[in-house]
């Protein structure tokens, strides 16, 4: 589903250059929940942003759901992003729109008819457990509910891959667990491939099949969670 080959990302900086991602190779399976863990500055967000073309690697190739995202641009990239969607730490919702309007937004952009949109939004609201909150504004929702809107919006166009950028880092432990349960449920029911980045071991242990550990731009360990995190 995802093939990351020899990628490197170098940012220019005052001191010369920063190698944010340094020769990373990862293959992620169809239907897998794959985690990337590491301290701040390890290169996690640069890596995940290269999976949907938000950053272009300096070297190497990234293929996601048959799209060579390290190469494509413009309308091709916009189309690919319907298959590779993303959720964020701070939700990135549209604050002046209701839950229903937020979830409907990517469907409007994709040109889905009004009737189809209404039907699809109803399904998504049920899927993420927001029944009864359709007409609320984001400011009226709890953190967990906001992330549920983020998830519903991300799923609107039936993506093949869901990227999660510290998606539970702004939530308390109990809410984190409920959002992780929802991600597992979605992975089970829709067969969606999930890639998440986090600095929290608990998140990886709770839902990931495999994990890559990043340090200073490099993957220093990669394998099934139980092997990588086994107690000595």
Q: Does 167 bind ligand ADP (CB under 6 A)?
A: no
Nearer to ligand ADP, 41 or 143 (CB): 41
- Report if residue 29 touches ligand ADP, rule: CB under 6 A: yes
- Residue 17 sits in the site that holds ligand ADP (CB under 6 A): no
Side-chain half-sphere CA neighbours of 23 within 13 A: 1
Judged by CB under 6 A, the residue of 5, 90, 97, 209 near ligand ADP is 209
For residue 204, the minimal CB distance to ligand ADP (Å) is 11
3-state SS, 203-220, equals: HHHHHCCEEEEEECCEEE
Q: How many residues of this chain bind ligand ADP (CB under 6 A)?
A: 17
Write the burial class of residue 153 (CB in 10 Å: 0-12 exposed, 13-18 middle, 19+ buried).
buried
Q: Which of 4, 24, 26, 45 binds ligand ADP (CB under 6 A)?
A: 45
Paired with 11 in beta bridges are 18
State in angstroms the smallest separation of the CB of 5 from ligand ADP: 19
The three-point CA angle 80-82-83 to 5° equals 70
The CB-of-216 to ligand ADP minimum distance in angstroms stands at 8
Query: Rule CB under 6 A: is residue 20 a binding residue for ligand ADP?
Result: yes
Of the candidates 8, 10, 22, 41, which one interacts with ligand ADP according to CB under 6 A?
Answer: 41
- Ordered DSSP codes for 34-97: EEEE--TTSSHHHHHHTTTTSS--SEEEEEETTEETTT--HHHHHHHHHHEEEEETT----TTS
77 lies in the site for ligand ADP, by CB under 6 A: no
| C-alpha–C-alpha distance, residues 225 and 212, integer Å | 9
Q: Which lies closer to ligand ADP via its Cβ, residue 46 or residue 147?
A: 46
Binding site for ligand ADP (CB under 6 A): 11, 13, 18, 20, 29, 31-32, 38, 40-46, 209-210
């Amino acid at each position: 589903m995802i093939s990351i080959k020899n990628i490197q990302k170098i940012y220019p900086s005052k001191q010369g250059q920063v190698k944010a991602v340094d020769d990373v190779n990862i293959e992620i399976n169809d239907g897998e929940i794959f985690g990337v863990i590491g301290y701040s500055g390890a290169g996690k967000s640069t890596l995940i942003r290269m999976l949907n073309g938000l950053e272009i690697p300096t070297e190497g190739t990234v293929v996601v759901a048959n799209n060579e995202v390290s190469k494509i641009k413009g309308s091709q990239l916009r189309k690919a992003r319907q298959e590779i969607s993303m959720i964020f730490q701070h939700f990135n919702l549209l604050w002046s729109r209701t839950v229903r309007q937020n979830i409907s937004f990517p469907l409007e952009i994709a040109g889905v008819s009004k009737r189809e949109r209404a039907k699809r939004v109803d399904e998504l609201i049920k899927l993420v457990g927001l029944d009864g909150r359709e007409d609320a504004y984001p400011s009226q929702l709890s953190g967990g509910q906001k992330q549920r809107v983020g998830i519903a919006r991300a799923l609107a166009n039936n993506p093949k891959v869901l990227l999660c950028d510290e998606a539970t880092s702004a939530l308390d432990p109990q809410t984190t667990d409920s959002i992780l349960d929802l991600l597992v449920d979605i992975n089970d029911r829709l067969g969606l491939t999930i890639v998440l980045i986090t600095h929290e071991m608990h998140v990886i242990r709770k839902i990931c099949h495999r994990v890559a550990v990043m340090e200073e731009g490099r993957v220093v360990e990669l394998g099934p969670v139980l092997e990588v995190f086994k107690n000595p």
